[in-house]
Every structure is written in C-alpha cells, then in structure tokens.
Structure 1
C-alpha cells in the first residue's frame, strides 16, 4: 500500500448522541481548564422573586374603567411597578443566616466594609464583605459581650442596639438589656465599659451611671468621643468614651403623667445634625407618650420643647430619627401611628399615618431616614419593607422581605446605597441594585465561588457555621466563648454540654490522672469491710501475716455464760430489791 492510498482511509471515532449523559465526562480539550465565574449569572440568581410587587404610591391610583381599559391599565401598572422598583436598591438581595433568634439591630461602618448584627440570642456577629463569596455567606466572628461575666445561673443579655462611630468606625456602641453599655473595637474587644449606678439612691442626679436597663443609645453627630444612652431609670446620660467612671452629663426627665414619682422609661433617643449651623438637636421619647427636645450642646436643665401626648401613653415608641438638615423628626409609636414633626414648630405633628406596631414583641423596631433624607424606611409586622415619602408619609414602594414574619431593624448605607434588614426569623437581608449600588453585596456576588473541599460540607463534617464562623476561619485556642475558663459554655447542636470549670476544680487533679499515677487509687471507691472479708479465707489457709503469733495467742480466763444467764438468757437482768 502506497502513501497515496493511505489518504483514502479515515479513522472511525466514537460518536455520542446529543442527549447522552456521557458527554459530561468526555473532555472537550487538552490541558488545564480554568473555571471562571459568570458574574452576570451570579447576580441574576440573587434577583428577588416577588410574585406581585406591592406599590401603594398615591397619585398613581386610577379609577376603574371598561374591561378593555382595565386590561391596558393592568399591563401598565406592572411596568410601573417594575420601573418604580428600579428607583430603589431593592431588586436583588443576599440572605445571611447566622443567628438563632430575632435580629434586633444592624450596623455598618462608615466605609461599608464591615457589618454588625445583634440578636436576642445575646451575640453580635461580624461580617466582612471583602471576605465573603457567593458560597460563603457567613459571619467570620461571633461574640457575646457578657461572656466573661456570665455564671451558671445567668444567661446572655439580649442585644438592644449596636452602632458604629459616625466618623472613623474603629469602635462601636453596644447596648444590651443591662445597666452598663460598652464601647467595643471593630474586632470585638472591649474598649470601655461604663459604670453602673447605685440603685439605692433616689435622686438620679447623684448616680454615676444607669440604675436600670438601657434601652438604646446613639453617637454625637460631630464629636467622636461622645455618645448618649437612654435608660429605664428615666434618664438620658451623655458619656465620654475616655472616662468610664461617670457620665459627662445627666438629663433627668420628670414625667408629668407619672404622678408624684415623676419617673418613666426613656424608650428612644436621636442626636441629629444642627439646622443652619446652630447646635445639634437631641430628641427623646418616653413610655408615658412624651416627646422632648434638647439643645445638643446643653444646658440640659430643662428641655427646649416638650410634647406631652405625642403618642399614646404606656406605648413603646421605639423608632425615632432626625433628618439630615436637623429640621424634621419622624417617630414610630406603639400606638400604631407614624408621625412627622418640625423642630422649629415642635407642638403638633405635621402629618400622621397609621402603621401597625410591633412594639409589644419587639420594642426595638426602628424607623430611619435615607442618607439624603428623600425617603423614610421602616419595617412592618407583616414582613414588608415600607419606603415612605418624607413629606406626606405615603408609601412610595412596599416590598415583602419576610412575609408573615415581623421586620424589626432597617438601615440604609450612604456609600453602598444598599438597604439592610433584620427579621424575627433570625435572617439578615442585604438589598441592592446592580445599577445603583456599589461594593458591598454587589462585590460579594462579583467574585468566583470558592472551591470547597468535601470536609467543608456542613452536613458531612463538624462545620462551625452553627457558631457563626466560616469554614475557613482560623480559631485560636481559647478564642471561642465555650472554651473560656470560668465562663459558661453553650452547647452546640452537634456536641454535648461541656462541663463547667469552677475555681475549685482547677486545683483538683482529674480522675484520669489519679487512676494512672496514684497506686491503689481504685480502692478509694471500695468498701473497706468488704475488701478485707474478701481475703478472710485466704488468711486462714495461708496466714502470711498472722503466723508469727498464731501459737502465742492468750487464753480466755472467763466463762462464756454464768449460771443465772444460762437459765434466764443473756438479755434478762436480775431485778434488784
């Protein structure tokens, strides 16, 4: 066969059908293949699947017309809802599930790199957008602010409020259901722990700290060293974070509706910017329904303005915020009303609308202005996010986040242009829009999914996701709360309850050490009488120890029984006459 004839021959190759499953195992090319992330597909996967967006913006409602017109209007309304949703960063979302109970507070540092979430489970979780990927949406750290002071009889204190400093973001204010607030670093270390007041003093002006539970707090708008806390002891206390021994200023609110005692709980406080270059504004709400306003720089001897019946008495006004220019104040009360106030005419509300309250179960439910004060956001008992018009408090856009589950905490970050929400089902949602938002959740979904080993699968290994830790986190010895000496360890779902280490047990050797190093230590738990009788027969047969004096034992010289005792018995005694 010549070479020319070999060109006529063709090598037959196996041909697979288009639907053959073996095509997935047959390589299509030689060499190393790299799997690149499809950024557009990943972002599209986070698009919120809302069946029927809720839009209640006034002015777009149209009267019913003919059937043909109604069909046209329905098509137009759907397009209007979609266009309306594009105005706000609510089209996409990522969900973080790192808590065991309701999320009560959310905070982002000024740069938008680190996020904090506080919960009723008593923990604060730390999230870094720079370290998360689409497959590792987890907290890299979880702390209990009171872990070092807990005992076997006490439990964790629920987190009431967390808030980063408005300037550097190097520290944050942590308020728990306790008379002492804490200033903590962005890594979770305690920087300052404010002092607790003397509960036996009746005059609150003489106490150096709160004597009742702290409900909330916030930072000074311009001074990074000052913060204010509101307590159930009817006081507002301004603290200097460099001095934990005593508060810098104390504001004692004397309620006119509380009778002779004049005490009531302070439920909310806000510290806003100064309008037109004047002093900052501080506005606080009380349980008796009062709303008081102070000059942010003092003096604080009496309020600049006070409204006695701003909200219903004995209802918890947990939401309060001040606009960016310091002129408008919005409050959300436990009486089911949202009201808008003008600080220049602080007597009557400008607008009030009905809004279902969740203060009976979650009193820390808040309400916030958008960064540019063009909108107001708040949650609802039905799990919807309400974006309101700040002029008339009418809904601009309403969208479901956790349907049927109350939405507690909301926040709108100015740099990221993303909305964060915390719900009663322990979920934290980060809402964003790829065309409007920057970094944050958008940056997370723009990364390639991390390749994970089989050992990183939580269902197959002892993964730490239940503790709020990622599978890639480096945990130093003793860094976990359950491993601290003297502290109370929490039982994990995959492990038993660890034995508590008490100061007495530290100085005592354990049972294993005793059994291995101390001879005859097993006899400590035996009955000595039974142990001796066990060798009674052996001692008679082979008297190793008693043979030396076996033949020299003394002989008994007394009779066993007397004659009278033999007749009457040993128990009967002779009666004396």
Structure 2
C-alpha cells in the first residue's frame, strides 16, 4: 500500500485493494486536488524532499522514518507470546488490559473480517508495502478480544456507550441526585425582621430582588456586593401594601411587583417605576367591563417569550393579561368558574414553558388551563378536585421539558401531575405544612427533582427545604435552612445556586464551590473595607506668632490631638450631668421632691425638729430671735411704713385720762 493522506472523516484500513486501486485512492484521498493534475516529475521531486527530511530528522533526533514508515515485526513470535500471557493473566488484569486497549490502542488482528471497511483506525499510517497477512503491532488474542468486546460494549451497539453505562445503576443515580444539589456552602443575607414572601433572580444571575410583608423591596447586586452582603437599594414601591410576588422579565430589564393593592407595578433594574396598571371600577358587576382589577392581587408572572406581556390574578375572580405599551387597559380578561358556574378566586397563575398555555390554581381546589392562542372562553384542561376545596393553591410550576406539572396547596400536600394524563396525580407528597399563601414549589434544572419549603409546626425548631425524586417519588434529601418558616425557593439553572427566603427576614444562598458559577461566589471573596470619612476644617487657622500669651492659640499639628483635647472639655464634648452617688429620689432629692420639702430646706428651718419636742416650746424658742431679727413682716414694710406716734394718757403718764379735757 502507498502512503495515504489524513482526511477529516473516518480513517479506514482496506487491505484487499490492489496496488492500482491504492494508487488511485492515494491520489484522491484527503481534501483532493485543485486545478490541474500534477505530473509524475512533481511526485519524484516530493519523494526526494521527503528522503532529505528523513535524513535530517535522523541526524538530529536519531529516528528514521518519523511519522512516515513503520518498523517490521516478527508476527508469529509475538502472537505466541501474547497467547501465553493471556492464559497466565487473571480475570481482573484481563479487564484492565481490555479497557486500556480500547482507549489507547486499536491494532488490527488476523481474526478481524476483511470486509469491515468502516472500522476506525487511530494512529500512524500503515507502511506503504503491506501485504494482506501482515499486521501492525502486537495482536490481541481472540479470547481477550471477545471478552473485551462483551464487557466494554453493550448489546445492540458496537461503537456507542449505552445509557446505563453513562448514567449508572439506580442506586448510583439516587446518590448523584443528592450530590447535584448545590449545598456545599451557604451565604446569608438579611432583608429585615419580617417574612420574605417574594423572591426573584435575574435571568443572567446578576441581581436578586426580595419582597416582604413589611412593604419593602430590596435589590442585591452580586457584582457590587462584598462579604457584608448588603443590598444597594431598598424602597417601598406600593406604599403600605405587602409585597406578594416579584419576577424579572425574560430580558431582565424590568421587574413585576405584585402587592396587596389592586394595581401591579413594573420597575426597571434600578427600582424606578416604569408603569402602574389602572384600577377598575368596583361598582360594575361584570368584571370584563372594567379596565383593571378591583380587589387585591394574589400573584403575577411574565410571558416566557413575549417580552412586553405579563399576567396578574386578583381577589375579584379574574386573570388579566397586560401589555407594557398600554397599562391603562388590560389586553384580555379570564374568568375562572366553579362547579356550579359561580366565580372563584385564582390564587396562583403561571405560563407554560412554551407560552401557549395559561394555567391557574383556584380557591375551590381546581386547576384550570386555557390556550393562549385562542379566545379565553372555554378551558382546554380542567381538573376540579386537584386540591382540597376552600384552600389556597399556593403555587403551580411547569417542568423544563413541559410534560409535568407540580402544585403546592395549603392542604399540606405537594402533587406531581403528568399533563398527558391529567386526571390523577402521579404522586401526592403529604405532611407538608404551609403557613403562607406564597409557599412555592419548582423543578430542578434537569427535571429529576421537585422541591418545596415547609413551615414550622408546634414542636419543630428548624424549617426545611425538601427534595423529592420525580421518578421514584422518594425523599432525596432535606436542607435545614433556619429556625423559621421556609417560604420561597429558586434553583437558578445558569448559576446552579439555590436561593431560599425565610419567615424571619433571612435570605440564604446555597452554592457548590466547584459546579456553581458567579452569583454569591463573587461576593464571598471580597473583603469589607470601612470607608474613612474625610474631615473638613470649617474655620481657617490664623497664625499670630507674636501674640500675647492670653490671645495665643495653640498650634495643633493633627486633628487627632484636637479631638482628644475637645473630648476632655465638658462644654465642647457636651458632657451630660454626672449621676448622683448619694441620696434618694434622683436629682430631685437635692432640692426636695415636694413644695413643702423645698420650703423647709431653703426658707424654713435650717435645723431638724424632733418629733418628741413640744411644738409650742419650739416656736417660743425663736420669739426673741424674731423680735431682734425680724424676717417675715417687718422687713417688708420697713421702708414704706410711717413711723408710729403714740399719745400719752396723762401728763405724768400715770392714771386714767380726763374725758372733758379738750384734745389738742
């Protein structure tokens, strides 16, 4: 055989061809030739150039025919040695050699059929003058080749691995499901003190939005956060209405906010309001005649493919489709009905993955679906007793492939449905207590698991997030999240991270160090640095070197010394009053807590009066002192009172006066 060129198809080895056919193949293999066919003299020139190149390689590296020609082997001796080694080797070594030979070497053996023209040959090209009975490399014995072919390849296929070999057995699949959950590390974010009942992640995984019953919505940017995990913006978009649902649009440029009011809002990525839906007329009986909702909203979601369309459901018994171009009037209205034809309130709504189906879970326990491409008059799928009547269906979610549906209800159950046989659930997962109307459920990105949160009951200490197998319906694992209720959970397929919101205002992010990308991993590695405040001098310093000591100002080189000095000054530091170390009644005790004690301490007696002393004697004791040093009445009239002039009764001053004597 002549030398062949390497082509980008299968490299085939055909030993039955004649010398003339090999010459034709060698001239047409590979990419072929372009333009005129080369002449024979050109081939001779190439052969001479190849010989010169081989000589140069032999001089430099000591190897002849590098990549061009193969060495000659003694085939019979090598076959005997291989047979002896195969008989002496153990079974385990046979399996290892078979696996290694399949991966690294694929030599041709004499037992192979000459008609297999499609077998792949990997390695250097065969020598040019190879006969039909010659082989390349040591051949594999027949018994070893048969065992290797039986163990290395499944039944019914020669060159492809079966699904069982790739995925493993059933027991290994259960273990791999548990390992697929990204929960090796966790990060905690504090939204507030009340329950976080709304959670949304950007489709690209760059931002997170959380909403709570404390009326606030917080925005978290993973690229801008550090290890302190603080939100960059917190606002109250709907005033005093609790937030019930949040969802980013398919492009991630806007976010839908569903609150307890009758008007849904759309915000941009930074939290600024883009639009607000109109409120309907509550005095009109027919809800189809109003332009908007007339009661508080329950849930809402974006269309998966139409960028500007979203849906809301409310307590007025309607679902409404909206377009961001016209928020003043709904695009379409859907009215779900009960068994007897009366209206019922939809508590959860969702679009299918392809966007062709609108589904909602109602308060009467039914799940109803409509075709998005037709008029919303009759339901395409209706299941009355999906959950217990007079209980809210918290959440409904479609699988990524679109063939399964899961629903979570306040009747403490989680149900898995097959949309191809939507009459009975595939399985019912009981004993899942739910306290909130926003407790949700969802599928894993590979549709092999469904997960939901669980609220705390009496006697329980830790809220859990449970994972179930969609094929065997067994509990895969459960994560102990926090000492509170577990409400919302999102498994982001692009980041491979789990976001869980709790009843104590905590939002946790679970990720795997190896299989998760970006997201919270960007924040953990960033250290929190405290920003130093720049101190600005309010007044300029006047330098007077020859001033008198009285007016001289001390020159402070640094602001630290000045702050220490001002700290010691009680006026500049605004030191509060020091506490009283003695006495009772606090600071009032210094002057008296009552008016009588104040008079006694400041105006009255300076000495204490004993209770056993006679009060008359105690007063008369100060009579002489009162005459000599008057304090009460006499000093007040001393300056204004005239001096008293008294008439003598007699001339001598003795005896009674004469009444007939005229007065002078």
- TM value normalised by structure 1: 0.59
Deviations 1:4-56, CA, capped at 9 Å, x for gaps: xxxxxxxxxxxxxxxxxxxxxxxxxxxxxxxxxxxxxxxxxxxxxxxxxxxxx
From the superposition, tell whether residues 265 and 392 of structure 1 become closer, same or farther in structure 2 (CA, over 3 Å): farther
CA RMSD in angstroms, aligned pairs only: 2.1
Q: Does 1:450 align with 2:541?
A: no
Partner of 1:548: none
Partner of 1:367: 441
From the superposition, tell whether residues 212 and 391 of structure 1 become closer, same or farther in structure 2 (CA, over 3 Å): farther
Gaps in structure 2 of 5+ consecutive residues:
1-171, 457-462, 535-664
Q: What pairs with 1:111-190 in structure 2 (closer than 5 Å)?
A: 111-134=204-227, 136-147=228-239, 156-166=240-250, 168-190=251-273
Gaps in structure 1 of 5+ consecutive residues:
1-78, 148-155, 457-577
- C-alpha separation in 1, matches of 2:439 and 2:533: 40
Give the SS at the match of 2:482.
coil
Partner of 2:495: 416
Work out whether residues 272 and 324 of structure 1, in 8 Å CA contact, stay in contact via their aligned partners in 2. Answer: no
- C-alpha separation in 1, matches of 2:379 and 2:488: 29
- C-alpha separation in 2, matches of 1:85 and 1:324: 19
Partner of 2:112: none
* Cα distance, 1:87 vs structure 2: 2.6
- C-alpha separation in 2, matches of 1:265 and 1:395: 33
Q: Does 1:233 align with 2:326?
A: no
Deviations 1:269-295, CA, capped at 9 Å, x for gaps: 110123xxxx62222100011111111
Deviations 1:324-343, CA, capped at 9 Å, x for gaps: 12221100111111111122
Give the SS at the match of 1:112.
coil
Find 2:510's aligned residue among 415, 431, 440: 431
- C-alpha separation in 2, matches of 1:392 and 1:369: 15
Q: Does 1:267 align with 2:347?
A: yes
Partner of 1:246: 329
Partner of 1:310: 386
Work out whether residues 291 and 328 of structure 2, in 8 Å CA contact, stay in contact via their aligned partners in 1. Answer: yes
Work out whether residues 414 and 432 of structure 2, in 8 Å CA contact, stay in contact via their aligned partners in 1. Answer: no
Give the SS at the match of 1:318.
strand
Find 1:322's aligned residue among 395, 398, 412: 398
From the superposition, tell whether residues 308 and 85 of structure 1 become closer, same or farther in structure 2 (CA, over 3 Å): closer
* Structure number with larger C-alpha Rg: 2
Q: What pairs with 1:384-423 in structure 2 (closer than 5 Å)?
A: 384-403=464-483, 405-423=484-502
- C-alpha separation in 2, matches of 1:342 and 1:299: 25
Work out whether residues 109 and 169 of structure 1, in 8 Å CA contact, stay in contact via their aligned partners in 2. Answer: yes
Give the SS at the match of 1:157.
coil
Partner of 2:302: 219
Partner of 2:429: 353
Give the SS at the match of 2:429.
strand
* Cα distance, 1:393 vs structure 2: 3.6
- TM value normalised by structure 2: 0.52
Moved over 3 A (4+): 79-86, 453-456
Give the SS at the match of 1:401.
strand
* Cα distance, 1:298 vs structure 2: 2.6
Work out whether residues 280 and 326 of structure 1, in 8 Å CA contact, stay in contact via their aligned partners in 2. Answer: no
Q: Does 1:194 align with 2:277?
A: yes
* Cα distance, 1:455 vs structure 2: 7.1
* Cα distance, 1:453 vs structure 2: 4.7
Deviations 1:113-153, CA, capped at 9 Å, x for gaps: 1110000101100101111111x211110010124xxxxxx
Partner of 1:380: 454
Work out whether residues 107 and 117 of structure 1, in 8 Å CA contact, stay in contact via their aligned partners in 2. Answer: yes
Work out whether residues 351 and 392 of structure 1, in 8 Å CA contact, stay in contact via their aligned partners in 2. Answer: no
Deviations 1:163-204, CA, capped at 9 Å, x for gaps: 0002x1000110001110011101111111011111111111
Give the SS at the match of 1:344.
helix
* Cα distance, 1:244 vs structure 2: 0.7
